[in-house]
Structure 1
Amino acid sequence: MKWEGQRESDNVEDARGGGGGLPIGGRGLGLGGIVIALIASWVLGINPLTLLGALQGGGGGGTPAVQAPAGDSHAQDPAYRFVKVVLADTEDVWGAYFQQRGQTYPRPKLTVFRGRIATACGSGESAMGPFYCPGDHKVYIDLGFYDTLRERLGAPGDFAQAYVIAHEVGHHLQNLMGTTGKLDQARGRVSEREANAMSVRLELQADCYAGVWATLSQRGKGWLEAGDIEEALNAASQIGDDTLQKRARGTVVPESFTHGSSAQRVRWFKRGLEAGDLKACDTFSSTAL
Protein backbone atom coordinates (compact mmCIF):
# COMPACT_ATOMS: atom_id res chain seq x y z
CA MET A 1 0.00 0.00 0.00
CA LYS A 2 1.66 3.20 -1.19
CA TRP A 3 0.65 5.44 1.69
CA GLU A 4 3.82 7.46 2.21
CA GLY A 5 3.46 11.07 1.03
CA GLN A 6 -0.36 10.97 0.96
CA ARG A 7 -2.51 13.58 2.71
CA GLU A 8 -2.80 13.17 6.47
CA SER A 9 -6.07 13.99 8.19
CA ASP A 10 -6.14 16.92 10.60
CA ASN A 11 -9.04 15.25 12.39
CA VAL A 12 -6.91 12.85 14.46
CA GLU A 13 -6.15 13.54 18.09
CA ASP A 14 -3.27 11.98 19.99
CA ALA A 15 -4.27 11.18 23.57
CA ARG A 16 -1.39 8.88 24.42
CA GLY A 17 -0.81 10.19 27.90
CA GLY A 18 -2.05 9.58 31.42
CA GLY A 19 -2.78 6.00 32.31
CA GLY A 20 -3.75 3.99 35.33
CA GLY A 21 -5.80 0.91 35.93
CA LEU A 22 -9.36 0.43 34.82
CA PRO A 23 -11.69 -1.01 37.49
CA ILE A 24 -13.07 -4.37 36.41
CA GLY A 25 -15.50 -6.87 37.80
CA GLY A 26 -18.58 -5.82 39.73
CA ARG A 27 -22.07 -7.30 39.67
CA GLY A 28 -20.65 -10.82 39.61
CA LEU A 29 -18.53 -10.40 36.45
CA GLY A 30 -15.43 -12.52 36.92
CA LEU A 31 -12.17 -12.56 35.01
CA GLY A 32 -13.45 -15.28 32.67
CA GLY A 33 -16.31 -13.07 31.54
CA ILE A 34 -13.99 -10.16 30.98
CA VAL A 35 -11.66 -12.28 28.86
CA ILE A 36 -14.61 -13.42 26.72
CA ALA A 37 -15.70 -9.82 26.25
CA LEU A 38 -12.22 -8.68 25.27
CA ILE A 39 -11.77 -11.51 22.78
CA ALA A 40 -15.17 -10.72 21.29
CA SER A 41 -14.25 -7.05 21.00
CA TRP A 42 -11.25 -8.02 18.86
CA VAL A 43 -13.75 -8.96 16.17
CA LEU A 44 -13.84 -5.17 15.67
CA GLY A 45 -16.44 -2.52 15.35
CA ILE A 46 -18.63 -2.78 18.41
CA ASN A 47 -18.06 -0.77 21.54
CA PRO A 48 -16.52 -3.38 23.87
CA LEU A 49 -18.08 -1.60 26.83
CA THR A 50 -21.43 -2.80 25.52
CA LEU A 51 -20.16 -6.39 25.68
CA LEU A 52 -18.96 -5.95 29.24
CA GLY A 53 -22.23 -4.28 30.19
CA ALA A 54 -24.23 -7.14 28.72
CA LEU A 55 -22.22 -9.68 30.71
CA GLN A 56 -22.77 -7.63 33.85
CA GLY A 57 -26.49 -7.40 33.20
CA GLY A 58 -26.44 -3.63 32.83
CA GLY A 59 -24.95 -0.70 30.93
CA GLY A 60 -21.24 -0.50 30.38
CA GLY A 61 -19.14 2.46 31.24
CA GLY A 62 -18.12 3.03 34.80
CA THR A 63 -16.16 6.02 35.96
CA PRO A 64 -14.49 7.79 33.03
CA ALA A 65 -10.72 7.96 33.21
CA VAL A 66 -8.91 11.24 32.71
CA GLN A 67 -6.52 11.11 29.79
CA ALA A 68 -3.76 13.68 29.53
CA PRO A 69 -2.98 14.84 25.99
CA ALA A 70 0.37 13.85 24.58
CA GLY A 71 0.76 16.89 22.35
CA ASP A 72 2.87 16.47 19.23
CA SER A 73 5.49 14.13 20.71
CA HIS A 74 4.34 11.26 18.45
CA ALA A 75 3.75 13.32 15.32
CA GLN A 76 6.42 11.47 13.29
CA ASP A 77 5.51 8.01 14.55
CA PRO A 78 4.94 5.97 11.34
CA ALA A 79 1.97 4.08 12.80
CA TYR A 80 0.37 7.36 13.86
CA ARG A 81 0.98 8.91 10.45
CA PHE A 82 -0.46 5.80 8.81
CA VAL A 83 -3.81 6.05 10.57
CA LYS A 84 -3.93 9.76 9.68
CA VAL A 85 -3.41 8.90 6.01
CA VAL A 86 -6.06 6.17 6.02
CA LEU A 87 -8.58 8.37 7.83
CA ALA A 88 -7.86 11.17 5.34
CA ASP A 89 -8.68 8.85 2.47
CA THR A 90 -11.96 7.77 4.06
CA GLU A 91 -12.77 11.47 4.35
CA ASP A 92 -12.03 11.98 0.67
CA VAL A 93 -13.96 8.91 -0.48
CA TRP A 94 -17.06 9.39 1.64
CA GLY A 95 -16.98 13.16 1.23
CA ALA A 96 -17.14 12.76 -2.55
CA TYR A 97 -19.75 9.98 -2.26
CA PHE A 98 -22.07 12.16 -0.17
CA GLN A 99 -21.42 15.24 -2.32
CA GLN A 100 -22.51 13.37 -5.46
CA ARG A 101 -25.83 12.82 -3.71
CA GLY A 102 -26.24 16.42 -2.65
CA GLN A 103 -25.26 15.75 0.95
CA THR A 104 -22.46 16.73 3.32
CA TYR A 105 -20.33 14.14 5.06
CA PRO A 106 -19.70 14.94 8.74
CA ARG A 107 -16.23 13.59 9.37
CA PRO A 108 -15.61 11.38 12.40
CA LYS A 109 -12.67 12.14 14.65
CA LEU A 110 -10.11 9.42 15.31
CA THR A 111 -8.52 9.30 18.74
CA VAL A 112 -5.28 7.42 19.34
CA PHE A 113 -4.83 6.50 22.99
CA ARG A 114 -2.84 4.22 25.26
CA GLY A 115 -4.11 2.38 28.31
CA ARG A 116 -7.58 3.80 28.86
CA ILE A 117 -9.63 6.80 27.88
CA ALA A 118 -12.93 8.50 28.66
CA THR A 119 -15.51 8.42 25.87
CA ALA A 120 -19.17 9.35 25.51
CA CYS A 121 -19.82 5.59 25.65
CA GLY A 122 -17.94 5.08 28.92
CA SER A 123 -14.33 4.24 29.73
CA GLY A 124 -12.40 2.48 27.01
CA GLU A 125 -9.38 0.23 27.52
CA SER A 126 -6.59 -0.76 25.15
CA ALA A 127 -7.21 -4.49 25.51
CA MET A 128 -10.71 -4.01 24.14
CA GLY A 129 -9.45 -3.28 20.66
CA PRO A 130 -10.59 -0.50 18.27
CA PHE A 131 -14.16 0.75 18.55
CA TYR A 132 -16.51 3.47 17.36
CA CYS A 133 -18.56 5.49 19.83
CA PRO A 134 -21.78 6.88 18.29
CA GLY A 135 -22.20 9.22 21.27
CA ASP A 136 -19.26 11.41 20.26
CA HIS A 137 -18.80 10.29 16.62
CA LYS A 138 -15.25 9.11 17.33
CA VAL A 139 -13.16 6.11 16.39
CA TYR A 140 -10.82 4.99 19.17
CA ILE A 141 -7.71 2.89 18.70
CA ASP A 142 -4.62 1.96 20.66
CA LEU A 143 -1.97 1.43 18.00
CA GLY A 144 -0.69 -1.55 19.96
CA PHE A 145 -3.72 -3.38 18.60
CA TYR A 146 -1.92 -3.70 15.30
CA ASP A 147 0.69 -5.84 17.06
CA THR A 148 -2.15 -8.04 18.33
CA LEU A 149 -3.64 -8.20 14.84
CA ARG A 150 -0.33 -9.29 13.36
CA GLU A 151 1.15 -11.49 16.08
CA ARG A 152 -1.84 -13.04 17.86
CA LEU A 153 -4.63 -12.95 15.30
CA GLY A 154 -2.54 -13.88 12.28
CA ALA A 155 -3.43 -10.88 10.14
CA PRO A 156 -0.29 -8.93 9.13
CA GLY A 157 0.00 -6.19 6.54
CA ASP A 158 -0.69 -2.49 6.21
CA PHE A 159 -3.94 -2.98 4.32
CA ALA A 160 -5.20 -5.30 7.05
CA GLN A 161 -4.63 -2.33 9.36
CA ALA A 162 -6.40 0.01 6.95
CA TYR A 163 -9.37 -2.39 6.88
CA VAL A 164 -9.69 -2.00 10.66
CA ILE A 165 -10.09 1.76 10.34
CA ALA A 166 -12.41 1.47 7.33
CA HIS A 167 -14.64 -0.90 9.28
CA GLU A 168 -14.90 1.53 12.19
CA VAL A 169 -15.67 4.39 9.81
CA GLY A 170 -18.35 2.09 8.38
CA HIS A 171 -20.00 2.22 11.79
CA HIS A 172 -19.87 6.00 11.59
CA LEU A 173 -21.77 5.82 8.29
CA GLN A 174 -24.37 3.59 9.94
CA ASN A 175 -24.72 6.11 12.74
CA LEU A 176 -25.21 8.96 10.27
CA MET A 177 -27.84 6.98 8.37
CA GLY A 178 -29.79 6.12 11.49
CA THR A 179 -29.11 2.39 11.26
CA THR A 180 -27.36 2.23 14.62
CA GLY A 181 -30.12 4.06 16.46
CA LYS A 182 -32.85 1.85 15.02
CA LEU A 183 -30.94 -1.26 15.96
CA ASP A 184 -30.34 -0.05 19.52
CA GLN A 185 -34.07 0.53 19.94
CA ALA A 186 -34.93 -2.88 18.48
CA ARG A 187 -32.48 -4.71 20.74
CA GLY A 188 -34.52 -3.83 23.80
CA ARG A 189 -37.60 -5.57 22.43
CA VAL A 190 -36.13 -8.93 21.44
CA SER A 191 -34.38 -11.90 22.98
CA GLU A 192 -30.61 -12.02 23.45
CA ARG A 193 -30.29 -14.45 20.56
CA GLU A 194 -32.26 -12.14 18.25
CA ALA A 195 -30.24 -9.15 19.42
CA ASN A 196 -27.04 -11.01 18.59
CA ALA A 197 -28.37 -11.76 15.12
CA MET A 198 -29.08 -8.05 14.61
CA SER A 199 -25.55 -7.20 15.70
CA VAL A 200 -24.17 -9.66 13.15
CA ARG A 201 -26.01 -7.87 10.36
CA LEU A 202 -24.72 -4.51 11.60
CA GLU A 203 -21.13 -5.74 11.66
CA LEU A 204 -21.31 -7.43 8.27
CA GLN A 205 -22.69 -4.22 6.80
CA ALA A 206 -19.68 -2.34 8.21
CA ASP A 207 -17.44 -4.92 6.56
CA CYS A 208 -19.27 -4.35 3.28
CA TYR A 209 -18.86 -0.58 3.66
CA ALA A 210 -15.12 -1.16 4.17
CA GLY A 211 -15.07 -3.09 0.90
CA VAL A 212 -16.85 -0.24 -0.90
CA TRP A 213 -14.26 2.18 0.48
CA ALA A 214 -11.40 -0.02 -0.75
CA THR A 215 -12.74 -0.02 -4.30
CA LEU A 216 -13.54 3.70 -4.43
CA SER A 217 -10.19 4.51 -2.84
CA GLN A 218 -8.30 2.45 -5.41
CA ARG A 219 -10.18 4.12 -8.24
CA GLY A 220 -9.14 7.51 -6.94
CA LYS A 221 -5.55 6.84 -5.88
CA GLY A 222 -4.41 3.56 -7.37
CA TRP A 223 -2.31 3.09 -4.27
CA LEU A 224 -2.98 -0.57 -3.56
CA GLU A 225 -0.29 -3.10 -4.36
CA ALA A 226 -0.28 -6.83 -5.05
CA GLY A 227 -1.43 -8.72 -1.98
CA ASP A 228 -3.16 -5.79 -0.27
CA ILE A 229 -6.71 -7.03 -0.85
CA GLU A 230 -5.65 -10.49 0.29
CA GLU A 231 -4.38 -8.94 3.53
CA ALA A 232 -7.79 -7.43 4.23
CA LEU A 233 -9.60 -10.65 3.33
CA ASN A 234 -7.31 -12.58 5.65
CA ALA A 235 -7.99 -10.10 8.45
CA ALA A 236 -11.74 -10.47 7.93
CA SER A 237 -11.35 -14.25 8.10
CA GLN A 238 -9.13 -14.29 11.18
CA ILE A 239 -11.57 -12.18 13.20
CA GLY A 240 -14.73 -14.12 12.46
CA ASP A 241 -16.70 -15.18 15.54
CA ASP A 242 -16.22 -18.88 14.83
CA THR A 243 -12.46 -18.53 14.38
CA LEU A 244 -12.05 -16.45 17.54
CA GLN A 245 -14.25 -18.76 19.62
CA LYS A 246 -12.40 -21.83 18.39
CA ARG A 247 -9.07 -20.18 19.19
CA ALA A 248 -10.22 -19.07 22.64
CA ARG A 249 -12.07 -22.15 23.89
CA GLY A 250 -11.99 -24.82 21.21
CA THR A 251 -15.74 -24.78 20.56
CA VAL A 252 -18.11 -22.68 18.47
CA VAL A 253 -21.51 -21.38 19.62
CA PRO A 254 -23.27 -19.85 16.58
CA GLU A 255 -26.17 -18.35 18.54
CA SER A 256 -23.66 -16.25 20.49
CA PHE A 257 -22.17 -14.69 17.35
CA THR A 258 -22.28 -10.88 17.33
CA HIS A 259 -20.11 -10.11 14.30
CA GLY A 260 -20.49 -13.02 11.90
CA SER A 261 -18.47 -16.04 10.90
CA SER A 262 -15.18 -15.80 9.05
CA ALA A 263 -16.88 -16.82 5.79
CA GLN A 264 -19.61 -14.22 6.25
CA ARG A 265 -17.16 -11.42 6.99
CA VAL A 266 -15.09 -12.26 3.93
CA ARG A 267 -18.23 -12.57 1.78
CA TRP A 268 -19.61 -9.15 2.71
CA PHE A 269 -16.27 -7.38 2.42
CA LYS A 270 -15.93 -8.86 -1.07
CA ARG A 271 -19.49 -7.83 -1.94
CA GLY A 272 -18.70 -4.21 -1.13
CA LEU A 273 -15.38 -4.51 -2.94
CA GLU A 274 -17.01 -5.81 -6.11
CA ALA A 275 -19.99 -3.42 -6.10
CA GLY A 276 -18.32 -0.18 -5.04
CA ASP A 277 -21.70 1.08 -3.85
CA LEU A 278 -23.32 1.21 -0.43
CA LYS A 279 -26.60 -0.02 -1.92
CA ALA A 280 -25.05 -3.47 -2.22
CA CYS A 281 -24.59 -3.64 1.55
CA ASP A 282 -28.17 -4.14 2.77
CA THR A 283 -27.48 -6.99 5.16
CA PHE A 284 -30.79 -6.38 6.95
CA SER A 285 -32.87 -7.36 3.91
CA SER A 286 -30.68 -10.27 2.88
CA THR A 287 -32.10 -13.73 3.53
CA ALA A 288 -28.66 -15.36 3.29
CA LEU A 289 -25.69 -13.85 5.05
Structure 2
Amino acid sequence: MDWRKGGSSNNVEIDSGGGGGGRRFGGGRGMGLGTIVVLALIGWIFFKNPMALLDQGGIQPGAGGQTGVPAQVDPEQKDFVSAVLHSTEQSWGEIFREHGATYVEPKLHLFSGGVSTACGSASTAVGPFYCPGDQKVYLDVAFFQQLQDELHSSGDFARAYVIAHEVGHHVQKLTGVFDKVDQARRQGAPMDGADGLSVRQELQADCYAGVWANHSQQELNWLQPGDIESALNAASHIGDDTLQQQAQGRVRPDTFTHGTSAQRVKWFKTGFASGDMARCNTFAGEP
Protein backbone atom coordinates (compact mmCIF):
# COMPACT_ATOMS: atom_id res chain seq x y z
CA MET A 1 0.00 0.00 0.00
CA ASP A 2 1.59 3.23 -1.15
CA TRP A 3 -0.01 5.25 1.63
CA ARG A 4 2.25 8.24 1.05
CA LYS A 5 0.15 9.07 -2.01
CA GLY A 6 -2.58 10.32 0.28
CA GLY A 7 -2.93 13.68 1.99
CA SER A 8 -2.80 14.39 5.70
CA SER A 9 -5.72 14.74 8.06
CA ASN A 10 -5.95 17.58 10.55
CA ASN A 11 -8.06 15.40 12.84
CA VAL A 12 -5.37 13.28 14.49
CA GLU A 13 -4.91 14.00 18.19
CA ILE A 14 -2.03 12.83 20.37
CA ASP A 15 -2.78 12.27 24.04
CA SER A 16 -0.83 14.63 26.29
CA GLY A 17 -1.37 12.39 29.30
CA GLY A 18 -2.95 15.08 31.47
CA GLY A 19 -6.31 16.75 32.04
CA GLY A 20 -8.78 14.94 29.80
CA GLY A 21 -6.09 12.57 28.59
CA GLY A 22 -5.35 8.96 29.25
CA ARG A 23 -5.79 6.89 32.38
CA ARG A 24 -4.44 3.52 33.36
CA PHE A 25 -6.17 0.67 35.12
CA GLY A 26 -4.16 -1.14 37.78
CA GLY A 27 -0.89 0.19 36.41
CA GLY A 28 -0.54 -2.67 33.90
CA ARG A 29 -0.56 -2.75 30.13
CA GLY A 30 -3.66 -4.95 30.05
CA MET A 31 -2.63 -7.39 27.28
CA GLY A 32 -1.00 -10.64 28.33
CA LEU A 33 0.12 -11.57 24.82
CA GLY A 34 2.48 -14.43 24.05
CA THR A 35 0.46 -17.63 24.44
CA ILE A 36 -2.49 -19.18 22.65
CA VAL A 37 -4.65 -16.84 24.73
CA VAL A 38 -3.42 -14.08 22.43
CA LEU A 39 -5.91 -15.28 19.83
CA ALA A 40 -8.83 -14.84 22.17
CA LEU A 41 -7.57 -11.46 23.34
CA ILE A 42 -7.09 -10.17 19.83
CA GLY A 43 -10.64 -11.27 19.07
CA TRP A 44 -11.76 -9.37 22.14
CA ILE A 45 -9.97 -6.11 21.32
CA PHE A 46 -10.42 -5.97 17.55
CA PHE A 47 -13.10 -3.48 16.60
CA LYS A 48 -15.07 -3.83 19.82
CA ASN A 49 -18.50 -2.24 19.92
CA PRO A 50 -18.29 0.42 22.68
CA MET A 51 -21.86 -0.30 23.77
CA ALA A 52 -20.87 -3.91 24.42
CA LEU A 53 -17.80 -2.73 26.30
CA LEU A 54 -19.93 -0.59 28.56
CA ASP A 55 -22.03 -3.66 29.37
CA GLN A 56 -19.04 -5.90 29.97
CA GLY A 57 -16.83 -3.54 31.93
CA GLY A 58 -14.25 -2.77 29.25
CA ILE A 59 -15.07 0.94 29.37
CA GLN A 60 -15.93 2.19 32.81
CA PRO A 61 -17.94 5.40 33.14
CA GLY A 62 -16.43 7.66 35.76
CA ALA A 63 -13.61 5.24 36.52
CA GLY A 64 -10.62 6.56 38.40
CA GLY A 65 -7.06 5.38 38.13
CA GLN A 66 -3.62 6.80 37.49
CA THR A 67 -3.09 9.59 35.02
CA GLY A 68 -1.89 8.26 31.70
CA VAL A 69 1.52 9.05 30.28
CA PRO A 70 1.90 11.22 27.17
CA ALA A 71 1.68 9.11 24.03
CA GLN A 72 5.03 8.73 22.32
CA VAL A 73 4.13 8.49 18.65
CA ASP A 74 6.60 7.54 15.97
CA PRO A 75 6.43 10.25 13.26
CA GLU A 76 5.96 7.67 10.51
CA GLN A 77 3.16 6.01 12.44
CA LYS A 78 1.40 9.34 12.84
CA ASP A 79 1.87 10.07 9.13
CA PHE A 80 0.38 6.68 8.24
CA VAL A 81 -2.64 7.13 10.50
CA SER A 82 -3.10 10.67 9.20
CA ALA A 83 -2.94 9.52 5.57
CA VAL A 84 -5.49 6.74 6.06
CA LEU A 85 -7.83 8.97 8.05
CA HIS A 86 -7.56 11.67 5.37
CA SER A 87 -8.51 9.12 2.74
CA THR A 88 -11.59 8.09 4.74
CA GLU A 89 -12.53 11.77 5.00
CA GLN A 90 -12.25 12.21 1.26
CA SER A 91 -14.15 9.02 0.42
CA TRP A 92 -16.99 9.43 2.89
CA GLY A 93 -17.22 13.15 2.20
CA GLU A 94 -17.86 12.36 -1.47
CA ILE A 95 -20.31 9.56 -0.70
CA PHE A 96 -22.32 11.75 1.67
CA ARG A 97 -22.42 14.60 -0.87
CA GLU A 98 -23.78 12.21 -3.47
CA HIS A 99 -26.62 11.48 -1.05
CA GLY A 100 -27.27 15.14 -0.31
CA ALA A 101 -25.75 14.99 3.16
CA THR A 102 -22.71 16.42 4.92
CA TYR A 103 -20.03 14.18 6.34
CA VAL A 104 -18.85 15.31 9.77
CA GLU A 105 -15.24 14.20 10.14
CA PRO A 106 -14.33 12.28 13.30
CA LYS A 107 -11.22 12.84 15.37
CA LEU A 108 -8.71 10.02 15.79
CA HIS A 109 -7.11 10.04 19.23
CA LEU A 110 -3.78 8.28 19.75
CA PHE A 111 -3.11 7.30 23.34
CA SER A 112 -0.83 5.15 25.46
CA GLY A 113 -1.84 2.86 28.31
CA GLY A 114 -5.32 4.19 28.90
CA VAL A 115 -7.61 7.04 28.03
CA SER A 116 -10.62 8.98 29.31
CA THR A 117 -13.43 9.39 26.79
CA ALA A 118 -17.02 10.56 26.63
CA CYS A 119 -17.92 6.85 26.90
CA GLY A 120 -15.89 6.51 30.10
CA SER A 121 -12.33 5.46 30.86
CA ALA A 122 -10.73 2.66 28.86
CA SER A 123 -7.55 0.67 29.30
CA THR A 124 -5.22 -0.45 26.55
CA ALA A 125 -6.86 -3.91 26.62
CA VAL A 126 -9.94 -2.47 24.94
CA GLY A 127 -7.95 -1.97 21.74
CA PRO A 128 -9.16 0.22 18.85
CA PHE A 129 -12.68 1.51 19.45
CA TYR A 130 -15.12 4.24 18.48
CA CYS A 131 -16.90 6.37 21.07
CA PRO A 132 -20.22 7.79 19.81
CA GLY A 133 -20.37 10.25 22.72
CA ASP A 134 -17.49 12.36 21.41
CA GLN A 135 -17.42 10.92 17.86
CA LYS A 136 -13.78 9.91 18.12
CA VAL A 137 -11.80 6.85 17.11
CA TYR A 138 -9.35 5.75 19.82
CA LEU A 139 -6.16 3.85 19.04
CA ASP A 140 -3.34 2.85 21.36
CA VAL A 141 0.04 3.72 19.83
CA ALA A 142 1.37 0.25 20.70
CA PHE A 143 -1.39 -1.61 18.92
CA PHE A 144 0.15 -1.86 15.45
CA GLN A 145 3.50 -2.90 16.92
CA GLN A 146 1.78 -5.64 18.88
CA LEU A 147 0.09 -6.87 15.72
CA GLN A 148 3.47 -7.06 14.05
CA ASP A 149 5.43 -8.59 16.92
CA GLU A 150 2.84 -10.92 18.39
CA LEU A 151 0.70 -11.88 15.42
CA HIS A 152 3.04 -11.21 12.48
CA SER A 153 0.37 -9.03 10.90
CA SER A 154 2.31 -6.02 9.70
CA GLY A 155 0.74 -5.25 6.33
CA ASP A 156 -0.11 -1.58 5.88
CA PHE A 157 -3.49 -2.33 4.38
CA ALA A 158 -4.41 -4.65 7.24
CA ARG A 159 -3.66 -1.75 9.59
CA ALA A 160 -5.66 0.61 7.41
CA TYR A 161 -8.56 -1.85 7.63
CA VAL A 162 -8.52 -1.43 11.43
CA ILE A 163 -8.90 2.34 11.10
CA ALA A 164 -11.48 2.10 8.30
CA HIS A 165 -13.62 -0.28 10.35
CA GLU A 166 -13.73 2.13 13.28
CA VAL A 167 -14.55 5.01 10.93
CA GLY A 168 -17.34 2.73 9.69
CA HIS A 169 -18.84 2.94 13.17
CA HIS A 170 -18.70 6.74 12.86
CA VAL A 171 -20.64 6.48 9.60
CA GLN A 172 -23.21 4.41 11.51
CA LYS A 173 -23.43 7.18 14.09
CA LEU A 174 -24.00 9.84 11.44
CA THR A 175 -26.65 7.79 9.63
CA GLY A 176 -28.55 6.93 12.81
CA VAL A 177 -27.75 3.22 12.83
CA PHE A 178 -25.65 3.44 15.96
CA ASP A 179 -28.37 5.13 17.98
CA LYS A 180 -31.06 2.73 16.74
CA VAL A 181 -28.95 -0.26 17.80
CA ASP A 182 -28.28 1.30 21.17
CA GLN A 183 -31.98 2.00 21.66
CA ALA A 184 -32.83 -1.59 20.77
CA ARG A 185 -30.17 -2.79 23.21
CA ARG A 186 -31.68 -0.71 26.00
CA GLN A 187 -35.10 -2.18 25.20
CA GLY A 188 -33.76 -5.69 25.62
CA ALA A 189 -33.10 -6.74 22.03
CA PRO A 190 -30.52 -9.55 21.82
CA MET A 191 -27.07 -8.16 21.08
CA ASP A 192 -24.82 -11.23 21.17
CA GLY A 193 -25.31 -14.44 19.25
CA ALA A 194 -25.00 -15.36 15.60
CA ASP A 195 -28.13 -13.36 14.73
CA GLY A 196 -27.62 -10.60 17.31
CA LEU A 197 -27.47 -6.88 16.66
CA SER A 198 -23.82 -6.66 17.70
CA VAL A 199 -22.80 -9.08 14.95
CA ARG A 200 -24.87 -7.20 12.37
CA GLN A 201 -23.45 -3.85 13.45
CA GLU A 202 -19.85 -5.10 13.28
CA LEU A 203 -20.35 -6.72 9.89
CA GLN A 204 -21.76 -3.47 8.53
CA ALA A 205 -18.63 -1.67 9.71
CA ASP A 206 -16.59 -4.32 7.87
CA CYS A 207 -18.64 -3.64 4.75
CA TYR A 208 -18.13 0.10 5.12
CA ALA A 209 -14.38 -0.52 5.38
CA GLY A 210 -14.66 -2.27 2.01
CA VAL A 211 -16.63 0.66 0.56
CA TRP A 212 -13.84 3.00 1.65
CA ALA A 213 -11.21 0.70 0.14
CA ASN A 214 -13.04 0.79 -3.19
CA HIS A 215 -13.30 4.58 -3.28
CA SER A 216 -9.77 5.22 -2.05
CA GLN A 217 -8.35 2.91 -4.69
CA GLN A 218 -10.28 4.70 -7.42
CA GLU A 219 -8.99 8.04 -6.18
CA LEU A 220 -5.38 7.19 -5.35
CA ASN A 221 -4.58 3.85 -7.00
CA TRP A 222 -2.47 3.14 -3.95
CA LEU A 223 -3.10 -0.57 -3.40
CA GLN A 224 -0.34 -3.00 -4.28
CA PRO A 225 -0.35 -6.75 -4.94
CA GLY A 226 -1.30 -8.61 -1.79
CA ASP A 227 -2.95 -5.66 -0.03
CA ILE A 228 -6.53 -6.83 -0.35
CA GLU A 229 -5.42 -10.34 0.60
CA SER A 230 -3.81 -8.96 3.77
CA ALA A 231 -7.09 -7.32 4.81
CA LEU A 232 -9.06 -10.46 4.01
CA ASN A 233 -6.52 -12.52 5.94
CA ALA A 234 -6.94 -10.24 8.95
CA ALA A 235 -10.72 -10.50 8.68
CA SER A 236 -10.58 -14.29 8.43
CA HIS A 237 -8.41 -14.59 11.54
CA ILE A 238 -10.67 -12.53 13.78
CA GLY A 239 -13.98 -14.24 13.17
CA ASP A 240 -15.71 -15.39 16.35
CA ASP A 241 -15.71 -19.01 15.24
CA THR A 242 -12.01 -19.10 14.39
CA LEU A 243 -10.97 -17.39 17.61
CA GLN A 244 -13.17 -19.56 19.80
CA GLN A 245 -11.98 -22.77 18.15
CA GLN A 246 -8.35 -21.82 18.61
CA ALA A 247 -8.71 -20.54 22.16
CA GLN A 248 -11.31 -22.95 23.57
CA GLY A 249 -11.41 -25.87 21.17
CA ARG A 250 -15.11 -25.32 20.50
CA VAL A 251 -17.44 -22.80 18.91
CA ARG A 252 -20.37 -21.16 20.71
CA PRO A 253 -22.54 -19.22 18.24
CA ASP A 254 -24.70 -17.93 21.10
CA THR A 255 -21.77 -15.82 22.29
CA PHE A 256 -20.79 -14.34 18.92
CA THR A 257 -20.30 -10.56 18.88
CA HIS A 258 -18.56 -9.88 15.55
CA GLY A 259 -19.52 -12.63 13.12
CA THR A 260 -17.75 -15.64 11.69
CA SER A 261 -14.58 -15.46 9.64
CA ALA A 262 -16.58 -16.18 6.49
CA GLN A 263 -19.06 -13.41 7.29
CA ARG A 264 -16.36 -10.83 7.95
CA VAL A 265 -14.62 -11.66 4.69
CA LYS A 266 -17.93 -11.71 2.83
CA TRP A 267 -19.02 -8.26 3.98
CA PHE A 268 -15.65 -6.60 3.43
CA LYS A 269 -15.62 -8.05 -0.08
CA THR A 270 -19.21 -6.88 -0.63
CA GLY A 271 -18.24 -3.33 0.21
CA PHE A 272 -15.05 -3.42 -1.81
CA ALA A 273 -16.62 -4.95 -4.90
CA SER A 274 -19.57 -2.56 -5.01
CA GLY A 275 -18.31 0.64 -3.42
CA ASP A 276 -21.95 1.18 -2.49
CA MET A 277 -22.95 1.68 1.13
CA ALA A 278 -26.51 0.67 0.21
CA ARG A 279 -25.19 -2.86 -0.28
CA CYS A 280 -24.12 -2.95 3.36
CA ASN A 281 -27.53 -3.59 4.94
CA THR A 282 -26.44 -6.36 7.27
CA PHE A 283 -29.64 -5.92 9.32
CA ALA A 284 -31.85 -7.50 6.65
CA GLY A 285 -31.95 -11.25 6.14
CA GLU A 286 -29.08 -13.50 7.14
CA PRO A 287 -26.01 -11.58 8.36
Q: Is 1:272 matched up with 2:274?
A: no
Residues 214 and 273 in structure 2, CA contact (< 8 A), matched pair in contact too: yes
Alpha-carbon distance, 1:37 to partner:
8.9
Alpha-carbon distance, 1:196 to partner:
7.0
Distance 1:218 1:182 in 2: 31
Using the aligned pairs only, state the percent identity: 51
Distance 1:154 1:36 in 2: 12
Alpha-carbon distance, 1:78 to partner:
1.0
Distance 2:139 2:79 in 1: 13
- Note closer, same or farther for the CA distance 1:276–1:36 as it changes in structure 2 (3 Å cut): closer
Give 1:46's aligned residue: 49
Query: Which of residues 96, 99, 119 in structure 1 aligns to 2:97?
Result: 99
Q: How do residues 155-234 of structure 1 correspond to structure 2 at under 5 angstroms?
A: 155-188=153-186, 189-191=188-190, 193=192, 197-234=196-233
Query: Which of residues 86, 89, 100 in structure 1 aligns to 2:87?
Result: 89
Greater Cα offset, 37-46 or 157-166: 37-46
Greater Cα offset, 112-121 or 36-45: 36-45
Alpha-carbon distance, 1:80 to partner:
1.4
Give 1:27's aligned residue: none
- Note closer, same or farther for the CA distance 1:209–1:78 as it changes in structure 2 (3 Å cut): same
The one-letter code matched in structure 2 to 1:131 is F
Alpha-carbon distance, 1:150 to partner:
3.0
Task: List 4+ stretches of structure 1 deviating above 4 A.
Answer: 35-40, 64-70, 191-196
User: Taking structure 1 as the reference length, what is the TM-score of the superposition?
Assistant: 0.85
Distance 2:55 2:271 in 1: 30
The one-letter code matched in structure 1 to 2:44 is S
Query: Which of residues 94, 116, 119 in structure 2 aligns to 1:118?
Result: 116
Distance 1:130 1:277 in 2: 25
Alpha-carbon distance, 1:3 to partner:
1.4
- Note closer, same or farther for the CA distance 1:192–1:212 as it changes in structure 2 (3 Å cut): closer
Distance 1:273 1:2 in 2: 18
Alpha-carbon distance, 1:104 to partner:
1.1
Q: How do residues 138-149 of structure 1 correspond to structure 2 at under 5 angstroms?
A: 138-149=136-147
Distance 1:196 1:16 in 2: 41
Alpha-carbon distance, 1:270 to partner:
0.2
Q: Which SS does the other structure have where 1:13 is aligned?
A: strand
Query: Which of residues 136, 156, 172 in structure 1 aligns to 2:134?
Result: 136
Distance 1:109 1:220 in 2: 22
Unpaired runs of 5+ residues, structure 2, are 33-37
Unpaired runs of 5+ residues, structure 1, are 25-30
Residues 13 and 112 in structure 1, CA contact (< 8 A), matched pair in contact too: yes
Q: Which SS does the other structure have where 1:98 is aligned?
A: helix
